[in-house]
A and B are shown apart, each in its own frame.
With several copies, the nearest count.
Chain A
Amino acid sequence: MSHGWTREQMAARAAHDIPDGAYVNLGIGIPELVTQFVPEGREFIYHTENGMLGMGPPPTEDERDLDLMNAGKKYVTELPGAVYFHHADSFSMIRGGHIDVCVLGTMQVAENGDIANWSTGAPDAIPAVGGAMDLVQGVEKIYVITQHTTKTGEPKLVGRCSYPLTGAGVVSRIFTDLAVVDVTPDGFQVVELAPGVDFDEVQQKTGAPIRPPA
């Protein structure tokens, strides 16, 4: 019997909530899987903050251009209608509110929409923020895809983030292996439960009060 969503199913569920024609920026990790699950009849255009719209899948060895990378420094390709631009234009798209949806992974997300996904704050950690703080402030809808808990079972959906914030009050919706959860003015709200998951399990694995689906 199935219990919860796989990584692929989480990505597909997130893709389901992205409208046709959206300009989308995808974080590294599970968010990258979104490209494989674009619903029939829809088209998303992918933005990579290092200066491209219309990013396509990884190249074959023959197709590879050593200058054509995504923000995660992986080789990618260009789709018809792609365009290149410099970093100030790229972050104008982000900061200026032109990107419709950003899908991020996270370490923690709080019931007030705070997100912490760039640093553990450990004394020997090398702080590396990249474009995360620009994305969470600039993009209209911030979606998060994440396992509901850490590998050791700690909640990733929490009352307040203990790690240093990437942004305050910015997350709209969270796609976990157990549920789709909205961040509302009243805190976490389950929108949908994954197959075989009951609400009590979600509440138990969430580090803050959460409301059942309506």
Chain B
Amino acid sequence: MINKQCPSVAEAVADIPDGATVMVGGFGASGSPVELLHALIDHGARDLTVINNNTGNGEVGLAALIGNGQVRKMICSFPRSSQSKVFPELYRAGRIELEVVPQGTLAERIRAAGAGIPAFYTPTAVGTVLAEGKESREFDGREYLMERWLKADFALIKCETADPLGNLTFNKTGRNFSPLMCMAATTTIVQATHLVARGNINPEHIVTPGIFVDRVVEVPDPVHEDILIAEGRRYA
């Protein structure tokens, strides 16, 4: 019987090497796989390229990973937030690279990687500085930019419910980029708030089919960045 369950977050991330490209699910604090991120801090892989919509909050989760000097480059759409200090400081000091991608283009590039589409055209960012250096082309009288797929070696994902085949459901807007990242990474590692037996998720309700998932770790009662920040916590 196929069983993708992994006993701990530490074991789940243990083979992420230095230099890896890692997608991290979540939009701000919503859907952020905090326990997996903290396990990656403990594991210590460095020189990472991280793909996420943002750059983390406070000094926990993704922000803590960045603050710990493990991230060489961020690829994201919005590297600011009212509670993010870690990234801006490193960025202004020239100690971390940044590739800014419009949010919809970021999502579509990740999906394209999962779908075997090496490139596509989008109207987004035409006529802006983010179009510089990009191929443009006209279709039916309108200008579009060519964008390439965006793949990763690993994805770190938080879901609501998983089964041992890696079938997943998410909670509300905690879904965001996660189903796309599951498709686009060579190895997809998921922390599930609930792990249920095979057959216990309605096949019509599964959002991410298990074929896109490699490892599942149950993390009941996960912490939430907003709560950690409100409590003044930091991870290091």
Complex contact flag A–B (Cβ < 8 Å): yes
| Chain B residues with CB under 8 A of A90 | 104, 107
Asked whether A137 and B124 contact (CB < 8 A) given A68-B30, A69-B30, A73-B81, the answer is yes
Question: Would you give the shortest CB distance from A120 to chain B, in whole angstroms?
Answer: 12
| B78 contacts A128, C-beta separation under 8 Å | yes
| Chain A residues with CB under 8 A of B210 | 45, 53, 81, 83
| B173 contacts A127, C-beta separation under 8 Å | no
Chain B interface residues toward A at CB < 8 A? 1-2, 27-31, 77-81, 87-88, 91-92, 98, 100-108, 110-111, 113-117, 122-130, 163-165, 167, 170-180, 183, 198-199, 203-204, 206-207, 209-212, 224, 226-227
Question: Would you give the shortest CB distance from A87 to chain B, in whole angstroms?
Answer: 4
- B168, closest chain A residue (CB): A83
From A45, A127, A164, B211 is in contact (CB under 8 Å) with A45
Is A94 an interface position by the 8 A CB rule? yes
| Chain B residues with CB under 8 A of A85 | 175, 209
Interface string of A7-48 (1 = CB under 8 A from B): 000000000000011010000000000000000000101011
From A54, A69, A129, A168, B77 is in contact (CB under 8 Å) with A129
From A20, A65, A87, A169, B172 is in contact (CB under 8 Å) with A65
What total of A-B pairs shows CB separation below 8 Å?
208
C-alpha spacing A129/B116, complex, angstroms: 20
| B172 contacts A128, C-beta separation under 8 Å | no
C-alpha spacing A87/B77, complex, angstroms: 12
| Chain A residues with CB under 8 A of B77 | 128-131
| A95 contacts B28, C-beta separation under 8 Å | no
Chain A interface residues toward B at CB < 8 A? 20-21, 23, 43, 45, 47-54, 65-70, 73, 78, 80-99, 114, 124, 126-134, 137-138, 164-169
- Chain B CB count within 10 A is highest, among A67, A94, A97, for A67
| B167 contacts A133, C-beta separation under 8 Å | no
Question: Would you give the shortest CB distance from B175 to chain A, in whole angstroms?
Answer: 5
14 interchain pairs (CB within 8 A)?
Answer: A66-B224, A73-B81, A83-B167, A86-B107, A86-B176, A88-B111, A93-B209, A126-B87, A130-B103, A131-B77, A131-B104, A133-B104, A166-B128, A167-B127
